[in-house]
Amino acid sequence: MRRLLLFPLLALTACTSIVTRYGGKRSAKDDAHEADGALMLNGQRVSVKWSDGDSFTFVDGPYAGQGTRLVGYNTLESYGPVHRWGSWEREELFTLTKGDAQVCASQAWECTTEGKPDAYNRVLVDCPKLALEMVRKGRALAYAVKGKPDRVVLDAMHQAQRARRGIWEKGVPKDLITALHSFAENQGTEYKSSSNRILDTHTGEAFLRRHTDFYQLCEEVCLNDSCMVYVPFDRRYKNQPACLIGE
């Protein structure tokens, strides 16, 4: 089994020196990923607020106020510049994700839901044509945590990879880290290990890789040619560390 390579926090000077192309600390406006939109949910038009390229909050309708998670595809994290692979810099990939919500809000997609929640109590929603569009544009990953992704969506990802479109422009890692969890998060619980989510970019299957590693805040964790910066959930949106806000 391939092991995760850990890099000490002190060596990660790039993590604490991220700036925008204009220089200096990013503003809230500069980091805006949200967009207002609408979709047809189970045949009913509802208003939504997109927070990134694969999740939104219902503004009205039967699920008003609830957050969501779209199934069948996944976009890069939008809370800060945490992804890196190939010849990409983290800030470049983060900048690229800023257009994701606008693509999602560009039309009222046909979507369905059974109202079932995911592990974070978000409503699971299926928008097949949106998934295909995001993956085709090279803005998203064909993604299945159980079983295999839709074949049409997977083929679209392969086509985007071959064309070096969007996030694939500067390289296609075989294994792409999409989620990190330090073992420290499980201290005081009954869990004996933590798990990272790794996407096989050929099959579209996102596997859990269990480990007992402790990660430091803003530490970059790499698996072969894919890297991701570790930030625990409670620091991603509030009291953000320097590696997310460019100080």
Q: Between 19 and 141, where is the model more confident?
A: 141
Taking only the tens place, the pLDDT of each residue in 199-208 is 999 999 999 9
Sheet of 44-50, strands arranged across? 56-58, 44-50, 35-41, 110-111
pTM given for the model: 0.84
Contact 48, 59 (CB under 8 A): yes
Q: What is the pLDDT of residues 158-214, one digit of tens each?
A: 999 999 999 999 999 999 999 999 999 988 888 899 999 999 999 999 999 999 999
What value, to the nearest 5°, has the Cα angle with vertex 67 and ends 100 and 246?
50
Residue with tokens 């890692």: 173
Mean pLDDT of 66-83: 96
Under a CB-based contact definition with an 8 Å cutoff, are residues 116 and 44 in contact? no
CATH number of 5-245: 2.40.50.90
Domain positions in the chain are 5-245
